[in-house]
Structure 1
Amino acid sequence: MGHSGSVQRHRGSRTRNSNGALYGEPVDSGDGSNSARAQYTPAQLQAMYLSRGRPDMGFMANQSMLPKEVPEMQQTCTVKNHVNLKKGSLKLLPLEDRPHKFDLELVFDATKPCRIQIFMIGQETIDDDTGCSSYALVHENQLVISKEFDSGLAQKFALSDIDEHLDFSGFPKSELVYESGSLKYPLIVVLEVLASEDNPQSQTTFATFFERNNSWDVKMLKQKIQVDGLTYELQEIYGIDGAIAAQPKEGEAEADQKGTIDEVEIPDGAECIICMCEPRNTTVLPCRHMCLCGECAEHLRKNASTCPICRTRVEALLQIRVEAKDDDKKDAEG
């Protein structure tokens, strides 16, 4: 490789030159000595080894490849949600001896007094300026079912408890099943905090009906919350159960200096799937797999482009952080 030279190719053959060397191989000098070796560019080396079927050289990058875009690392912000409908609790139950009429049951949490509103065949309207949503019934002859509740956890609500029900007999099948992309929903359930402010906090659950065993059932489509005039759509994070959220940024440096926070014991199944020794606290987007610790996520961000679980292209990384409670802060300071 110490001398300069050029690649030679015999016109009479596609694969071998006059002295029997494969295309792209170093050739002997004119005097028959083996000392002269050609010096190749990376592109020529790649062509040479690929033409000979060398899989061990597969790591050589194509010279035309563009640099990979480094995914963004995002930090979460904490939003206090005072009302929450537990999506797995939404049930549609047929009423005995009353065809086409159904009871609706759900379970919710409320840290403040709230109101439940139920819209059967409802329309969502999104304000262009604020992004906030409002809801109305599609059919004027229908009434919004409403009930107020005090604060409390795991509260149960059923239409039968207030002598109400959902009557399917007056609607065509096309209105009972959600059409993708539409702002008209077969069922909208709104939990709204009772407050005097203009934009009270609320959570909205959108659902559709579907046929099952010659009857109807209900399935949740999505949930939104409105807090301080901003709207957020709730998304499921796969693997968050048992995971350990990262410490708040403000307290990390101080906690490390004082040594007041002990090492966190990692429960079984909460480890990062890469290093297997740190708690997972980072989610891959858009697939929403929470499977990495902060250090491995930083390495993935710079050196890889796919989720280690599903191989989906990584567009961003989201690190889950929680705010420390006042009691926890006092214990750490003490």
Structure 2
Amino acid sequence: PNPNPPQYYPQYGNYYPPPPPSVQVPLPAPYDHHHRGAAPPPNVPPTEFPPSVHSHNYPGWAGRYPYGLQPPMPTPYVEHQKAVTIRNDVNLKKETLRIEPDEGCPGRFLVAFTFDATVAGSMTVYFFAKEELNCNLTAMKPDLIKPVTVSFKEGLGQKFRQPSGTGIDFSVFEDSELLKQGGMEIYPLAVKAETTLSADQPSEGEDQKPKTPNSQITQAVFEKKESGDYQVRVVSQILWVNGTRYELQEIYGIGNSVEGDTDANDPGKECVICLSEPRDTTVLPCRHMCMCSECAKVLRYQTTRCPICRQPVERLLEIKVNNKAEEPPQQTSQSPPLHPPPALHQEEV
């Protein structure tokens, strides 16, 4: 009860109530809503209060309201996937793609590169090509320079060079057409390596679905050096396998994990977390192959940052590489593997 109840005075004209006393009697401290009696609340140890009771003596509470930091947000879950192997019958080594002067036709330049092939096929060089449906290329300036197709046989480390007289004359085209940057639909240079359909493949009438040969497309642009000469820079590589389009992506660190002629104790091959197991898991989208699968399973619940570059992690891709140097090489029952080893084949959506 209030010890200082308000005073009521009869309503008389020209009468004003006296002022309140100068010393106010303090009110008692407010009790918890569970204790409304006149007696003080029982002296109960703080540990006996359940978390839902707002007690003055309960740790982490100030009066009736909590204080302190909120609990941290849970770490987002990172998806862990396993890679699926896709056979690539023809591989153009993009670091070898270049242009060379044509000695037979001064002023023209020929496309040259190195490639591996486990089956026979054909190589077509396009200038100013546009990719159409089902990875078909269309030359956009066939009146000025036509595509050139050359057949090849199976074999590793083959050298390709355009026939003399079929190269490009840079003086005919503007630099704005040759030196394109950023997103584009027409690439100044494109090379399509296409395999030959084998005789044992079913025809269109047997399964009611047309068969298309597997192929690899390398799209590139020209760059001008300080000397004024042109050089080639590869922008992307695309695979067309069994009617599905894939875009090739490089994986950083996979070379240290698949080279069978190196020492097993060579630094750089082990997981950067446990420093003992070989690395076999790639972080996406930065594509750093830096962890073993066991550490990756633990890491995905604790952080969303790459251990190498600290970029956000969207997915973890496990790539199992069969690397046993002591085993003898496979015989003719299987085709030899391509070099370099297969990188991440991510389907474009």
Question: Do the aligned partners of 2:180 and 2:221 also contact (CA within 8 Å) in 1?
Answer: yes
RMSD across aligned positions (CA): 2.9
Q: Find the residue that maps to 1:241 and give its secondary structure.
A: helix
SS in 2 for 1:165: coil
Aligned partners of 1:151, 1:195: CA distance in 2, in Å? 13
Contact 1:244–1:281 (CA<8 Å) still a contact in 2? no
Partner of 1:145: 148
Residue aligning to 2:11:
none
Mapped contact 1:176–1:209 kept (Cα < 8 A):
yes
Unaligned runs of at least 5 residues, structure 2: 1-45, 47-55, 202-210, 331-349
Are positions 1:200 and 2:213 aligned together?
yes
The 5 A counterparts of 1:72-91 are 72-91=79-98
* Aligned match for 1:133, one of 129, 132, 135: 135
Give, in whole Å, the separation in 1 of the partners of 2:322 and 2:290: 21
* Deviation at residue 323 of structure 1 after TM alignment: 6.7
How do 1:63-78 and structure 2 match up within 5 A?
A: 63=71, 66-78=73-85
1:167-246 counterparts in 2 under 5 A? 167-195=169-197, 198-212=211-225, 213-243=227-257
1:154 to 154, 157, 160: 157
Note the alpha carbon deviations across 1:261-309, whole angstroms, 9 max, x for none: xxx9554320001110100000000000000011110111111110010
For residues 243 and 136 of structure 1, do their structure 2 counterparts lie closer, same or farther at Cα, with a shift above 3 Å needed? same
> 2:288 matched to 1:289?
yes
Cα contact 1:123–1:135 (8 A) shared by 2: yes
SS in 1 for 2:87: coil
Give yes or no for contact 1:283–1:290 (8 Å, CA) kept in 2. Answer: yes
- The equivalences for 1:1-334 within 5 A come to 39-41=59-61, 44-46=67-69, 62-63=70-71, 66-95=73-102, 100-125=107-132, 127=133, 132-141=134-143, 142-160=145-163, 162-195=164-197, 198-212=211-225, 213-243=227-257, 265-322=264-321
Taking a change above 3 Å as real, the CA distance of residues 274 and 322 of structure 1, as seen in their structure-2 partners, is: closer
* Alpha-carbon distance in structure 2 between the residues aligned to 1:146 and 1:95: 17
Deviation at 1:193, TM superposition (A): 0.3
Identity %: 38
Shift of 1:203: 0.5
Greater alpha carbon shift after TM alignment, 67-76 vs 196-205 = 196-205
How far apart in 2 are the matches of 1:226 and 1:97? 35
Greater radius of gyration (CA): 2
Specify whether residues 43 and 297 from structure 1 end up closer, same or farther in structure 2 by C-alpha distance, changes over 3 A only.
Answer: farther
Over residues 102-140 of structure 1, what are the superposed CA-to-partner deviations in whole Å (9 max), with x where a residue is unaligned? 122100000000100000111112x3xxxx221111113
Query: Structure 1 residue 324: deviation in Å?
Result: 9.3
Q: Which moved more, 1:218-227 or 1:37-46?
A: 37-46
Q: Distance in 1 between matches of 2:286 and 2:317?
A: 11
Equivalent position of 1:27 in the other structure:
none
Higher helix fraction (1 or 2): 1
What code does the residue aligned with 2:238 have?
A: K
* C-alpha deviation, 1:215, in angstroms: 1.5
TM-score, structure 2 normalization: 0.67
Report the counterpart of residue 248 of structure 1 in structure 2.
none
Is the CA contact 1:266–1:278 (under 8 Å) kept in the aligned structure 2?
Answer: no
2:103 and 2:152 map into 1 onto residues whose CA distance is 28
- What CA distance in whole angstroms lies between the structure 2 residues aligned with 1:100 and 1:302? 60
Give 3-state SS (helix, strand or coil) of 1:166's partner: coil
Choose 37-46 or 208-217, whichever is displaced more: 37-46
Gaps spanning 5+ residues in structure 1: where?
Answer: 1-34, 47-61, 246-263
Q: 1:294 to 1:70 in 2, by over 3 A?
A: same
In structure 2, the partner of 1:32 is: none
Q: In the aligned structure 1, how far is the partner of 2:165 from the partner of 2:101?
A: 14
TM-score by length of 1: 0.69
**Separation (CA, whole Å) in 2 of partners of 1:168 and 1:43:** 74
